[in-house]
Amino acid sequence: MGISSLKVLALSFWSFILVIVSTNGAAPEPLFPAMFVFGDSIVDNGNNNYLNTLAKANYFPYGIDFNQGPTGRFCNGKTIVDFLGDLVGLPYLPPFVETYRGSSTILRGVNYASAAGGIMEETGQNLGGRFSLSQQVQNFETTLRQLKNQMNEHDLSQYLAKSLMFMIPGSNDYINNYLLPGLYPTSYIYDPKTYADLLIKRYSDTNSGFAEFGTQEVLAGRNWTTWLHTKPKSLRSCSTREMCVFC
C-alpha cells in the first residue's frame, strides 16, 4: 500500500462520515452489528487504565465534559469513535481488558486501542506498558474465541463480514519512537522515506490479515500524523471547567 492508497483511505473515511451524517444523525437501527477499534490515545477508552504505564488519562481534567467523567479517554469528552458509534447506532464500546475480565459484553464490539502503542513493537516503551498494533490484533483473536462460544460458525462469519473495523495507528511511531533519537535508534537506522515505507508495509499487512478473520469493512482514519484531538493544556492550573483549556 503506497502513499496514494493511504490518501484514498483517508478520503474514504471522511466520505463515510459524510454519508452517515447525511442520514439525519444517529441511526435508529445499527448500521453495523459491531465495531472493533484499533489504535492509540486518539481512540483509547480505558485499556491503559489496567496497564503499568505513564500513558493514562483516568483522572481529572480528562473527561470533564463526558457524562461518565474520566474513563481513560485522552480528551475532555467523546473520542471520534464515540461520535462514530453515535452516528451508526452503536453504544460506547468496552475496552478489551474489561471484556477479557468478563465484566463487559462483546457483541456490539470492542475497543483494543492503547495509548503509546504503535505499529512498531518497541514504540512507546519509554512510557511503560501498552498494546502494540500486533498485540491488539492478538487481543482481537481472543475476542473471536469468546464469540465462537456465543454463535455458530456460519453466524459468526456473517457477523464479522458485516462488522466495521476502525484502525488509526501510526502517530506514536513518530512522536514516541522516530523523533526520540536519544531513546530509540530508529532514526539512525532508517531515513524518513524508508521508515514511512516500513510502517506502511506493516500496517498494510495487518489490514490484509483481517481478511483471514472474515472481516470486510476496514475503516482507516487519518494515519501518520497526530490527530487534532483535545488534551488539557495544563494539568497543574486546571481545577474547574472554566480554568481548563483543551487544545
Per DSSP, the residues of 128-145 read B----HHHHHHHHHHHHH
Q: Is the pLDDT of residue 239 over 80?
A: no
State how far the Cα of 182 lies from the Cα of 204, in Å rounded to an integer: 29
Q: Is the pLDDT of residue 180 over 70?
A: yes
What does DSSP assign to residue 24? Answer: T
Confidence of residue 224 (pLDDT cuts 50, 70, 90): very low
Q: What is the mean pLDDT of residues 59-88?
A: 94
Cell 483509547 belongs to 44
Q: Is the pLDDT of residue 247 over 70?
A: no
Rounded (10°) angle between helices 133-148 and 153-162: 140
Handedness of CA 90, 94, 96, 98 (dihedral sign): negative
